[in-house]
Amino acid sequence: MRYLPLTADDRTRMLGVIGAADIDALFVDVPAAARKKDVFDLPRHAGELEVERELAALSAMSRSAGAGPFFCGAGAYRHHVPATVDHIIQRSEFLTSYTPYQPEIAQGTLQVLFEFQTQVAALTGLDVANASMYDGSTACAEAVMMAKRVTRREKAILSGGLHPHYAATTQTIAHAEGMNIVRQGAAIDAEAAVIDAIDAETACVVVQTPNVFGVVTDVTKIAEAAHAAGALLIVVTTEVVSFGLLKSPGEMGADIAVAEGQSIGNALNYGGPYVGLFAVREKLVRQMPGRVCGETLDADGRRGFVLTLSTREQHIRRDKATSNICTNSGLCALAFTIHMTLLGGAGLRQLAQVNHSRARELKAAVEAVGLEVLTPRFFNEIAVRVPGAAAALVEALLGDGVIAGVPYSRLDPHAGLDDILLLAATETTTSEDIAALSAALIRRLGQ
Amino acid sequence: MTMNAVGRPTRPEGSIETTGFKSLTGARALLQDEPLIFELGGWDKTGVDLDEAGHDASDLSGLTRGNVPLPGLSEPETMRHFVRLSQKNHAIDLALYPLGSCTMKHNPRLNEKAARMAGFADLHPLQPVSTTQGALELMDRLAHWLKTLTAMPAVAMTPKAGAHGELCGLLCIRAAHEAAGQAARRTVLVPTSAHGTNPATAAFVGYSVQEIAQTPDGRVDLADLEAKLGPHVAAIMVTNPNTCGLFERDILEISRLTHAAGAYFYCDGANFNAIVGRVRPGDLGVDAMHINLHKTFSTPHGGGGPGAGPVVLSAALAPFAPAPWVVHGPDGLHLVEEPAAEAVQAFGRMSAFQGQMGMFVRAYAYMRSHGADGLRQVAEDAVLNANYIKARLSGEMSAAFPDGPCMHEALFDDAWLDGTGVTTLDFAKAMIDEGFHPMTMYFPLVVHGAMLIEPTETESKRELDRFCDALLALAAAAKAGDTQRFTGAPHLAPLRRLDETLAARKPRLAWRPEPISVAPTPLAAE
């Protein structure tokens, strides 16, 4: 077998050194009733060619996003990732290294994490960021639990524009910890409605901008209201390219910013792995979950980086830790850092402008076929009202080779918003794609 | 002097003293010092060429920011920056990476190639399921493998890492107790030797944690377990093989006692590599177990993730598994994202979307390559390699549990270092100078100065011997009083030992920018 270096002769000689009669002698502690003599009822080993053929056949069964006009967003976005990114993350020294517990021989990973943290802090307009979370949704749940630790209050208010999967993840995890999660009804342009729900029990309010309907909101007033009541403001962003153009969460008064970082450096991957961004104000850093990399000196006085503030973490604090997270999204954070380094602030600004421009083109095209666009202020995503069920329309448009976005009902079937379709455009969306969508809509809607 | 035809010397003359030699620039041949990107980049520089925006952003007036204060680098500068950094990392592709509990094994590149196929990598999680049948089919096949290898009837695929899987498992257990009117059960029993994630996860779901004692031979103390079980206990969390690298001989009795007390048995599957293909957790009475695909099934660890932690579940817990999951329908595979009436017991959602698809592809490619027969050989070779190391090192180093075989990792204590002035940490750092990554140190907590060595099955006998020879030489040096070699180690790494106290006392967690002199970039057409 190609992944196993030991030969039969090696095994015999090694058993001799150990003083064991055979391999079974090493499994002697397994209860006899649980020792399986036979090979399990699964296929036997296969050569590389055979496995590659099977996987290629499975891959070919799906219609990839890039195979034609495509308008899905709602928390994951198809962007162009420079070839350099994927080349570097496949270098052995990054791909096949562990969490950097031995900093003397992990400075590569550690310096990247320090750069990542600095980039995330700058993008979110906050002071410090951690070394990544699993994804945006789990980062959101962790932020809510962090707010409980900071404020010693148990109520969290989630806006009606928060991505329903984020709300569900937060409800599941924070509820288990005994928090009272108040989720406002789905609303396209009502992030500020959380203000009326803030009371003296409120640990945090969670708002999203651009929200799941694509609406951009200045949350400054929400921050003021939250702070006046002693609560924290958590700002969620699922499209981080928007940080290139829009006011940052920190600039608007957020205490914690969480985001899905997939858009920069990472493929769609059918939902994962992604990379959660988590940034806070300096004074909150010791309640932050997750790994953190910090600057220090070595024995010769040279600058170096280490994992630090580990007294917050599970391997030291066990049941008193700020989170149970261990493995995070290191390689996805590396991809983010490389892509962000290539872009720079200037490139990100330009990329954001192109995204916004394509979305303006998309909006005009949708309005031209007579559909109502419900998103008053958008970055690269809009909510559109369609006649009938959006899900049925998306299925119908597949017949024209167009993947026409995400029906809101898929995210939240109980909201009564079955006629809402979410459409996103990025720099990968061409004018031809938009024309194809328009033509298909005209054909299906009979206009 | 030996020279070629153009007068270039072709042989070194004599031996050159290199001790204390320093280059004029501070570089060390192939190893370059590399500044941070914030010290290299241009504030208005970019390494990407983008289209011009056709429309402006005037419709977002009042909502936009000034410049984004981040430097950019051109493509060649970016490549060089990260390649130079990469050369400061140890990696499994370079040498043995014997971190106990971490299962650092070879990562086949076929798996990387497969994960990048467009039908997996370029699929949006919310595009119509009729267009993602190949991905769902792969998830379904992977689930079948995981269930068959563990003899468990169900698997929750969405957890994103081991600790996330623990959380998923405990939430299932909590939901099951609540459904049975047993919500008062709020204690989780955890052995002293457990991974830190176990008590952290239990606390995360609002449970209190009580520790179970360990026997002198490194196993769960049955009498202590029995004494602590009761109507207040929701679950036990036991790693098997345990963190001492030993199989819990009384595992069947552990599960019997647990179930008799009305509690569930959560097994931490971090060490599944030792038994895959030979022992099925379902036959041991396990109710829930996460499987670290980034350990047993070789998805690369990537310097700290991403991982994946699907959780196999017993019939009792299966109804409580979180959404989404894959089902077979008359017209193909479907994804249940919002559980309807027939599945209202599902406890909720672990994250947005379907889980770590990229890791699923890699793990499935790995399983198909090995097959059922190869996976059995994986466990056997992993255990053989660990026992070989234990046998070879036991003459000089003290095994924590010398009697009987270990499983996939060999555990030593620091008794053999008594009187040498060398600590476990010093010894581990000296391994760096010899070209090896240190083993897991000071874990498990139940063994003084613990050194936990897990070689995995992907090491050749030659590499194992090279490793053992190096450790034996170091052990001899420690005992011979060559203390400086250890207390000053590492001497040859890119950096010497780092000051972790300084880092924690006054944290500098982001580069502090100098005042930026470049004017904010104006918005297009503004």
Mark yes or no for CB contact A351/B322 under 8 Å.
no
Q: Please tell me the predicted confidence (pLDDT) of residue B375.
A: 97
B479, part of any domain:
yes
Using the Cβ of B118 and the Cβ atoms of chain A, whether some distance falls under 8 Å is answered with yes
pLDDT at B513 over 90: no
Residues of A with Cβ-Cβ distance to B134 under 8 angstroms? 57-62
Tell me phi and psi for residue A196, to 5 degrees. -65, -20
> Bridge partners of B239?
B268
Closest CB to A42 among B52, B107, B371: B371
B38, part of any domain:
no
B6, part of any domain:
no
Are B309 and B391 part of one and the same domain? no
Q: How far is A357 from chain B (nearest CA, A)?
A: 5
B321, part of any domain:
yes
B360, part of any domain:
yes
Are B352 and B408 part of one and the same domain? no
Q: Please tell me the predicted confidence (pLDDT) of residue B521.
A: 38
Q: Which domain holds residue B285?
A: 110-366
pLDDT at B520 over 60: no
What residue in B sits closest to A108 (Cα-Cα)? B85
Number of helices (H), then strands (E), in chain A: 14, 13
Q: In the structure, what pLDDT confidence band is assigned to residue B191 with cuts at 50, 70 and 90?
A: very high
Q: In the structure, what pLDDT confidence band is assigned to residue B6 with cuts at 50, 70 and 90?
A: confident
Closest CB to A246 among B55, B63, B99: B63
Residues of A with Cβ-Cβ distance to B140 under 8 angstroms? none
From B411, B454, B358, B389, select the one nearest B218 (Cα to Cα): B411
Are B200 and B121 part of one and the same domain? yes
Q: Which of A4, A144, A284, A324 best tests the B interface by mutation, with the highest count of B CBs <10 A?
A: A324
Mark yes or no for CB contact A60/B119 under 8 Å.
yes
On average, the pLDDT of chain B sits at 93
Are B334 and B393 part of one and the same domain? no
- The Cα–Cα gap between B161 and A133 comes to 11
Residues of A with Cβ-Cβ distance to B50 under 8 angstroms? 347, 350-351, 354, 427
Q: Which of residues 390-429 of A touch B (CB under 8 A)?
A: 394-395, 398, 403, 406, 410-414, 427
Q: Which of residues 449-478 of B touch A (CB under 8 A)?
A: 457-461, 463
What residue in B sits closest to A164 (Cα-Cα)? B352
Q: How far is B315 from chain A (nearest CA, A)?
A: 19
Are B256 and B384 part of one and the same domain? no
Q: How far is A226 from chain B (nearest CA, A)?
A: 20
Q: Answer whether A173's CB lies under 8 Å from A188's CB.
A: no
Q: Answer whether B409's CB lies under 8 Å from B218's CB.
A: no
Q: Answer whether A134's CB lies under 8 Å from A327's CB.
A: no
Q: Which residues contact B418 (CB under 8 A, 6 or more apart)?
A: none
> Bridge partners of A235?
A207, A257
DSSP B304-362: T------EEE-TTTGGGPPBPEEEEETTEEEEE-S--GGGTT---BSSSSS--HHHHHH
Q: Answer whether A62's CB lies under 8 Å from B131's CB.
A: yes
Q: Which of residues B399 and A446 earns the better pLDDT score?
A: B399
Q: Is A370 exposed, middle or buried (0-12, 13-18, 19+ CB in 10 A)?
A: exposed
With a pLDDT cut of 90, the percent of chain B lying above it is: 86
B116, part of any domain:
yes
Q: Please tell me the predicted confidence (pLDDT) of residue A310.
A: 86
Using the Cβ of B377 and the Cβ atoms of chain A, whether some distance falls under 8 Å is answered with yes
B516, part of any domain:
no
pLDDT at B417 over 60: yes
Residues of A with Cβ-Cβ distance to B387 under 8 angstroms? 14, 18, 20, 26
Are B318 and B341 part of one and the same domain? yes
Using the Cβ of B371 and the Cβ atoms of chain A, whether some distance falls under 8 Å is answered with yes
Residues of A with Cβ-Cβ distance to B149 under 8 angstroms? 40, 42
Name the 3-class secondary structure at B408. Answer: coil
Using the Cβ of B392 and the Cβ atoms of chain A, whether some distance falls under 8 Å is answered with yes
Q: How is residue A162 annotated by DSSP?
A: S
Residues shown for chain A: 447
Name the 3-class secondary structure at A299. Answer: coil
Mark yes or no for CB contact A353/B57 under 8 Å.
yes
Mark yes or no for CB contact B118/A313 under 8 Å.
no
Q: Give the residue-averaged pLDDT of B260-283.
A: 97
Q: Which of B172, B204, B432 best tests the A interface by mutation, with the highest count of A CBs <10 A?
A: B204
Pairing of strands A293-297, A202-208: unpaired
Are B409 and B317 part of one and the same domain? no
Q: Which of residues 222-241 of B touch A (CB under 8 A)?
A: none
Tokens (6 digits) for A376: 């008053």
Are B263 and B387 part of one and the same domain? no
Q: Answer whether A298's CB lies under 8 Å from A368's CB.
A: no
- The Cα–Cα gap between A248 and A269 comes to 27
Of B312, B337, B366, which residue is a domain's last?
A: B366
Q: Which of residues A368 and B7 earns the better pLDDT score?
A: A368
Are B180 and B315 part of one and the same domain? yes
Are B151 and B252 part of one and the same domain? yes
Using the Cβ of B448 and the Cβ atoms of chain A, whether some distance falls under 8 Å is answered with no
- Residue B142 is part of a domain; what is its CATH number? 3.40.640.10
Are B252 and B114 part of one and the same domain? yes
Closest CB to A58 among B71, B138, B350: B138
Closest CB to A4 among B300, B338, B381: B381
Q: Please tell me the predicted confidence (pLDDT) of residue B89.
A: 97
From B129, B112, B130, select the one nearest B121 (Cα to Cα): B112
Residues of A with Cβ-Cβ distance to B298 under 8 angstroms? 3
| pLDDT tens per residue across span B219-258 | 999 999 999 999 999 999 999 999 999 999 999 999 999 9
Are B302 and B384 part of one and the same domain? no
Mark yes or no for CB contact A338/B82 under 8 Å.
yes
Q: In the structure, what pLDDT confidence band is assigned to residue B525 with cuts at 50, 70 and 90?
A: very low
Q: Please tell me the predicted confidence (pLDDT) of residue B12.
A: 65
Q: Which of B75, B126, B147, B283 best tests the A interface by mutation, with the highest count of A CBs <10 A?
A: B126
Mark yes or no for CB contact B371/A45 under 8 Å.
yes
Using the Cβ of A40 and the Cβ atoms of chain B, whether some distance falls under 8 Å is answered with yes
Using the Cβ of A68 and the Cβ atoms of chain B, whether some distance falls under 8 Å is answered with no
Q: Give the residue-averaged pLDDT of B300-308.
A: 96
- Residue B428 is part of a domain; what is its CATH number? 3.90.1150.10
Tracing tokens 């939430």 back to the chain, one arrives at B171
| pLDDT tens per residue across span B340-376 | 766 678 889 999 999 999 999 999 999 999 999 999 9
B211, part of any domain:
yes
**Structural domains counted in chain B:** 2
pLDDT at B14 over 90: no
Say which amino acid occupies B97: Y
Low-confidence ranges of chain A (pLDDT < 50): none
Using the Cβ of B331 and the Cβ atoms of chain A, whether some distance falls under 8 Å is answered with no
Mark yes or no for CB contact A84/B338 under 8 Å.
no
Residues of B with Cβ-Cβ distance to A178 under 8 angstroms? 206
DSSP H helices in A125-282: 136-151, 164-176, 194-197, 220-228
Closest CB to A17 among B279, B292, B392: B392
